[in-house]
Chain A
């Protein structure tokens, strides 16, 4: 019975620094099967793959529990090299190809076929000549299997992205012993027609008897090609489905699940902000932020609300706040209470009353080697001339005022520290986040943009930070735009949630809307389905 499975992963558990990221995960893939692995960011997909490939990160953090079985034999994979020898191949999301080499050379790199010549006979086998003809023939064969009619001698540089992806796959299938091929979100970078080609190629490959593990969050693709579907959520297998027995909406619901961390904003549901004035109007916003492209978003923020911006990683939600602040090249129009905001100028954004708490706390949010008080005061000092003693033409910082303000903030926001002079790099993540928020608050902003406020901080601190945001909103009436990857968090705090998919606004939901809607919107299926119904 076990013999028919190419890959079995049994009861896999993995703990990272007391944080259980995988809990008794089982995964079985038969030969010739396309098995989809679904899950949100942070559901444990990557960790599972790291275990399969024996990545050093797994072993340097204490290994894992459970067993990996390949072709019925228990294996102990300690390095990526060993997994290759066992016949497991990976098609990466980012291509690992050498642009200056031809397709054949890339496919055959380090596995070249060679033939003897005079020198190699006399000296060593390292001097053998490349057998270009047979290499080209092999490459041609692989490309044909994939239905790709590009010349195998052309260089990688200049090929369309879709073709590069195929070369990656060709390289994997050229390894004769390949049994299992892992596709890690292969269609993320492809256009729709290219993606279709890829899916067809996957089917062809599966027909030749190779087992395929397909990691993605595009649900329609799963429904197109997969035979079986395993859904991970929070490090656990929530469901194993056969394609025939499920639907896109069911998958969406299973993927997202309901994880409300207690309703924190008690009056958010009672209040309606529909009649409130629009404080921030975004029209056709385009932000070129690497990995988080925003491709034309229209969004209105009403005064006094907490607007959530959600979506999967890499879809562009992070880019919005960064674009409004002018930190990345931005196009489009932004209006603040009907006043047009100058783009690409952080100074203007701050002067017009926008406060920003960056998602990159250590990179952008803090001066790590400076004291808490200086961090809190810096922006206000530079932008609003607060905390400055003027002795024209000279200036000096007003240490007394800075200290007083810092002490007040430390008390108000409950920053746990040894005092206002402590360096911010010695603080814990949650307290660092509070320092960032304190810095933004010192500017007395009308709108507070908060990106990923709970990333990388522990559960207790998470709640404190979220409570703080709610308090600011309720007591000071501050308008807050909160960007977060954690849907549960958005649903517990926000009055409306905008979901971003592929750089565009997919839709705006109420926190009380169903899991199905959230799941569909996050995977970008919502409109496709609704359009389908309309037709």
Chain B
């Protein structure tokens, strides 16, 4: 009996068991506190779709050997630029959304390539360098947003120069994926388009990882010396992985924003990489290994826990801002816990 339990524990992994138990605990408490379960379920599904692509962006970076992409903000900024251009071109609905992605991808490819050159020169300390590259670029772009020559009155300050802090997508392409083929099960609305988009992205990455390039990329990350002896160009694969991760980050923010309803500029992208890294780690990935299943499980556990724990916390402690602080404690606690697991996926 003890043997079987240990076997199961080993195959699932202790971190996942702890997080899952914690998640179940918060769900039970949500029921006991008579919170609106249908609303919460809807929110969990939406948040999985919103954040899923960010988490997926970690996979090519980890597999190519550069570790979790802490510099995800780079991709996010590329996505933001794509989105702003789409608004500047005065496009609406599906076209607006598609144009944002189409414009963002080439920018992300170039930025990813430059970023990869940096990462190839700092082998062994990618995670730290990536974190600070992400931070630096966010602050650099804080100046950038002020001086970029966007004209659309929806985006610039009515008086003075520069772009607004938040730019509403209300009439452009807000909720375009969320409401696509949306249908209710009972009282729960299923954001079909959003989830479908996420799953299609997962399948595309999965297919890529089974291609010749994808396999070479995985080999480069798993054992650079082996790859060298096989005639595989390790640096080139690290570049490919970084570009792909940056592109997914760019697509991710557009998906995120259409659901959120706003583009947030300036300091908003600063910490966005951390929940994504935490999610993939909780899903069972490590700094060297990641699978698509880790992404799906991770984003479900992380976002689910976060979504449910907030109303639970605020109904237990009713004083003002304490619930927000609690949410930060829970979120950063999970991130911290996940980061301690960065070198041991098993």
Contact = CB atoms under 8 A, between A and B. Distances in A.
A364 B226 contact: yes
Given A368-B223, A369-B222, A379 B210 contact: no
Size class of the B contact interface (CB-based, 8 Å) = 20 to 34
A367 B232 contact: no
A395 interface: yes
Nearest to B232: A382
A341 interface: no
B297 interface: no
A360 B226 CA distance: 10
Contacts of B230: 346, 350, 378-379, 382-383
A367 B231 contact: no
A224 to B, nearest CB: 42
B219 A383 contact: no
Most buried by A among B212, B216, B226: B226
A239 interface: no
Nearest to A385: B212
A378 B219 contact: yes
Contacts of A369: 222, 289
Contacts of A351: 231
A346 B210 CA distance: 24
A370 B222 contact: yes
B210 to A, nearest CB: 5
Size class of the A contact interface (CB-based, 8 Å) = 20 to 34
Interface in B118-163: none
Contact of B231 (A358, A366, A383, A396): A383
A166 interface: no
A397 B212 contact: yes
A260 to B, nearest CB: 32
A381 B214 CA distance: 12
Interface string B182-226: 000000000000000000000000010011110110110011011
A327 interface: yes
> Chain B contact residues: over half helix, strand or loop, or mixed?
helix
B228 A346 contact: yes
B5 interface: no
A360 B289 CA distance: 22
A364 B216 contact: no
12 contacts: A327-B229, A346-B231, A349-B231, A363-B223, A369-B222, A369-B289, A370-B219, A374-B215, A379-B231, A381-B212, A382-B216, A397-B212
A379 B226 CA distance: 10
Given A365-B226, A366-B226, A396-B211, 13 more contacts: A346-B229, A347-B231, A351-B231, A358-B229, A364-B223, A364-B225, A364-B226, A366-B223, A382-B230, A382-B231, A383-B231, A395-B212, A397-B215
A379 to B, nearest CB: 4
A389 B153 CA distance: 51
Interface string B2-16: 000000000000000
Interface string B225-253: 11011111100000000000000000000
Contacts of B211: 394-397
A356 interface: yes
Contacts, number: 70
Nearest to A439: B230
Contacts of A327: 228-229
A379 B212 CA distance: 11
Contact of B207 (A356, A378, A388, A396): A396
Given A327-B228, A346-B231, A382-B232, A367 B212 contact: no
Contacts of B213: 395
Given A395-B213, A397-B211, A397-B212, A367 B219 contact: yes
Contacts of B207: 394, 396
A382 B212 contact: yes
Nearest to B207: A396
Most buried by A among B207, B210, B225, B230: B230
A336 to B, nearest CB: 16
A321 to B, nearest CB: 11
A364 B229 contact: yes
Contacts of A500: none
B214 to A, nearest CB: 9
B215 A381 contact: yes
Interface in A368-424: 368-370, 374, 378-379, 381-383, 385, 388, 394-397
A431 B215 CA distance: 23
Contacts of A379: 230-231
A325 interface: yes
Nearest to B230: A379
A382 B226 contact: no
A200 to B, nearest CB: 44
